[in-house]
Amino acid sequence: MACSRAESGKGVRFPYHIKNRGRVLVTIYKKTPTYPRYRVAWAAGGKRQMKAFPSFGEAKAHGETLKKELAKGSTVTLLRPGQAADALAALERLQRHFTTTGRRFSLAESAAAFCDAMTHLGGRYSMSDAVQGFLRNVAAIKRRALAEAVEEFIRDREANTVARDGKRPHLSPEQHALTAIWLREFKDTFPGADVCDLTKEHMNLYMGKHFKLAPKTRNERRNIVRMLLNWCVKQDYLERTHRLFEASRMENETADPETIELFTAGELRAMLERASRTPTSSVNGEQPQMDFRPLLPVLALAGLAGMRFREITRLEWQDVFGIPGNVEVKAHKSKTRSRRLIPLCAALAGWLEPYQGREGSVWPKGYDMLHEDFGDLRRELGIPDRRNGLRHSFISAHFAAHSNEGLTASMAGNSPDMIHKHYKGLLTKEQGEAWLAVAPVGAENVIPLKPAAAQ
């Protein structure tokens, strides 16, 4: 009977207080006709909480449980049943994660991290989608010795030096050899280092060793190192976010403008006439003269058409005479890999006239031999070396004679801006016309089959 009275709340004085050491922690309110349930009220976290039960016994049992938690200062009483179940499930999941990985996270920091991540995602993706996308774009870095990576990179690029289908190779063997020398110097600076361990200090140390070089050359070395490191990123030897290029000494310097050195019209004539002359035989024990006749068309094309030596070594006579009045520089023979036509001026046509009907290479002896023979010719005539002097002289002369940087650029295979920036004002109009008029003696009236209007 007592149990029944307790369950019904009969004989109980309301509001019913549940105390701990004289302090009321929980209050139970009786049911009323308008609200036929017993209400349990308590305060937690500075807020008043309330829960209803159909019987006084259930309300009292819950109140006693609350009293114990509140007496300990616990905030668990703030949780609704569903929240408490979620919290327990989350704690169990965190415990399993700890058991599996050994990494422990509290429920609070886990919730904070999740909410921050979802805020950054802006509701566009789920957390799982974001993680999968991140993992697809972040590679696992492979530890690779710098020395091994450099040799691998050199071998990888070597294939580009091989000509295929009769076309010019993508990478010149000479440039590849120079790149290999510089990169081996780079890796020898840091023996035993792995690519992924490189720092900005390594970059500064390497570039600091070359402080005596010209700014242009230092920039070229920087670009080679950048090329290597970008390749290492693709091989997963280096983080994509490595920031090595931000090293203070990896910033490109403003290079001084190249000094343009020119030959004179008299020097051009002397070289062409000497190259056109049959050498004399040994007389009275004297050393026989060198035969520079194979050099004549090279000097004429460089000095009166502005062609680069490297382009001339790729040229065949069909390119010279295949299109009347023009020299054709095919795309795969041009430095810029862009086809161009160079109209023959009257003087150039005169020097090339004897070669009509020839076949094969204009210069079959190779690029290095070309420089050697040209050097021997200049030394015999007492003419100083001037870097790219024949090409520079033609461009300067043509621009001075015609005042049309677009026309000069189309013939030289570079940009009008380059012409205007580097060649403006180097020669007068009269000097330019004199250079372009260096024709064979007695051949001044020879004209190309289809002279260009601007010529």
- Give the residue among 75, 68, 21 at the shortest CA–CA distance from 49: 75
Distance CA 304, CA 315 (A): 15
Residue 138 class from Cβ within 10 Å (0-12 exposed, 13-18 middle, 19+ buried)?
Answer: exposed
Interior/surface letters 97-132, b for 16+ CB within 10 angstroms, e for the rest? eeeeeeeeeeeeeeeeeeeeeeeeeeeeeeeeeeee
Q: Tell me: cis bond preceding 15? Omega within 30 of 0 counts.
A: yes
The span from the first CA to the last CA of the chain, in angstroms, equals 128
Topology classification of domain 265-281+288-436? hpI Integrase; Chain A (1.10.443)
Domain boundaries, given as residue ranges, for the chain: 2-81, 146-250, 265-281+288-436
Inter-residue contact 28 to 63 (CB < 8 Å):
yes
Distance CA 48, CA 42 (A): 6
Q: How far is CA 99 from CA 85, 94, 105, 111, 201, in A?
A: 21, 9, 12, 19, 41
Q: Kindly report the pTM of this predicted structure.
A: 0.59
Distance CA 408, CA 160 (A): 32
Spell out the per-residue pLDDT of the chain, length 455, in tens: 444 545 667 788 889 999 888 888 889 898 888 888 999 888 876 778 888 888 888 888 888 888 887 877 766 555 566 766 777 787 788 888 878 888 888 877 887 888 888 888 777 778 787 777 766 666 688 999 999 999 999 999 998 888 777 677 778 788 889 999 999 999 999 999 999 999 999 999 999 999 899 898 999 999 999 999 999 999 999 998 899 999 999 999 987 777 899 999 999 999 999 999 988 776 566 677 889 999 999 999 999 999 999 999 999 999 999 999 999 998 888 888 889 999 999 999 999 999 999 999 999 998 889 999 999 999 999 999 999 999 999 999 999 999 999 999 998 888 999 888 889 889 999 999 999 999 998 654 444 433 333 33
- Give the residue among 380, 379, 408 at the shortest CA–CA distance from 393: 408
